[in-house]
Amino acid sequence: MIDSAPDNHEHPEASNLLRQLPRVTAPLGFEETVLLRRMMKEQLPHASAPEGFEEKVLSRLRECESLSRHLRPRRLRLASPRTWIAIGVGAAIVGGIAYYFASTRSSSSREHHTIPAPHVLPLVVPTDSAIEEELAPPTQPSRRSESESERPTVDQPSTPPGKRVTPGVPEHDQE
Amino acid sequence: MGRASIDEQTLVELLMERKEEGFRELMRVYKDDLVNFAYRFVGSYDNAVDVAQETFIRVFRFIETFQRGARLKTWLYAIARNVALSILNEQRRHPVSRLVETDDDGQEVERDIPDSTYTPDRTVDSTIIAQRIQEALRKLPAVYREAVILRDIEELTYEEIADVCNVELGTVKSRINRGRAMLQELLHDVYEELYGKQSQ
């Protein structure tokens, strides 16, 4: 079949442009590389797989698969609901016992280790007024608030005028 | 790569449905490439077969995590690379000494001083030259080695290598260049033997 590609003469501009492209040269050591590759191709034989290669691989694979199948039921047994229920019940019992011991121990330890409240001595800051109060005679009227002083007074028989009264001395002695 | 009898999309569907037919087809198509990649990477044929087997087993186990838009091929290589790296790390526990270098991107790269007792598998690398090349590959740091193997032996694209190694495209390019330069240095006399002094 004749190639119907257009001849270069039909496109002189394109040809001129292509001629202007710089020529690329082979890199240094090109021949050596070619020889090296030729040598490797020609001189090195192609190693091939030994006879029965496929069968060996398939038997190794079957071994692996049978091993994994052998292991699978164990895994499944472990994951059965009965196992999980048993594990759950066991954990609950152990947890309950642990909680019981922990709570009893903490309550007993609370009894033993109660620290008695220390006897707090009243801190008395002596002031002049307090000393005065202490020294004051017991009959001295106590301070009253204004509301108290406003309360209605009850009439009581008062001491007759002119009678000398010594505070703290019984009345019959004073006579 | 083995010739696929079904397209990748159908293969992914079969794998997702965990059909044995799909797994068999996947192994048929990719087993040799993965064994070859792993052999060139870890340097031992027995370990390489282990890597490939483990890769397929991981595919079977984790196929649900495969994103449908992704390429199955790069996913397989990424898994194989991880498995191979874990084997190499295991071997590092009884090493040899280690050097830390800085690569072109300023990233630190650990470089093992390889075990001098290492010899390539003679059943695979039957010629002296093949053994010399394999020894030279083993001397490269893992990040350069994987990049060179994926590009020059497995013929993955730069983008695919970036996906497999989970690095930027620029990092892939610089690692490939650096790895090739190291190999050229290591295989200087093999060049002369094969292609004469004019090649240098």
ipTM score: 0.74
Instruction: Tell me if residue B126 falls in helix, strand or coil.
Output: coil
The ranges assigned to domains in chain B are 1-94, 121-200
Predicted confidence (pLDDT) at residue A157 exceeds the cutoff of 70: no
Name the interface residues of A facing B (CB cutoff 8 Å).
29, 31-33, 35-37, 39-41, 43-50, 53-54, 56-58, 60-61, 64
Is the pTM value of this prediction over 0.80?
Answer: no
pLDDT for A70: 63
CA distance B24 to chain A (A): 7
Fold of B121-200: Arc Repressor Mutant, subunit A (1.10.10)
Considering only the beta carbons, identify the residue of A31, A39, A64 that sits closest to B194.
A39
B119-146 b/e (C-beta count within 10 Å ≥ 16 → b): ebbeebbeeebbbbbbbbbbbbbbbbbb
pLDDT for A19: 82
The nearest alpha carbon in chain A to B152 belongs to: A37
pLDDT for B94: 65
Q: Which residues of A touch B190 (CB under 8 A)?
A: 39
How far are the Cα atoms of A29, B1, B92, B178 from residue B116, in angstroms, in the given order? Answer: 30, 33, 14, 23
CA–CA gap between residue B36 and residue B156 (Å, rounded)? 14
Q: Is B58 an 8 Å CB contact of chain A?
A: no
CB-count exposure of residue A118 (10 Å: 0-12, 13-18, 19+): exposed
Question: Where residue B45 falls among pLDDT bands split at 50, 70, 90?
Answer: very high
Across the interface, whether the CB atoms of A35 and B199 are under 8 A apart is answered yes
pLDDT for B168: 97
**Taking the domain B1-94, which CATH number applies?**
1.10.1740.10
Q: Taking Cα atoms as reference points, which of B144, B125, B156, B155 lies closest to residue B185?
A: B144
pLDDT for B184: 92
| The two three-digit tokens of residue A114, written as one number | 């109660």
Range in B107-116, B121-130, B168-177 the model is least confident about? B107-116
Q: Which residues of A touch B180 (CB under 8 A)?
A: 33, 36
Contact B85, B145 (CB under 8 A): no
Write down the mean pLDDT value for chain B. Answer: 87
Across the interface, whether the CB atoms of A47 and B180 are under 8 A apart is answered no
Considering only the beta carbons, identify the residue of B35, B57, B125 that sits closest to A49.
B35
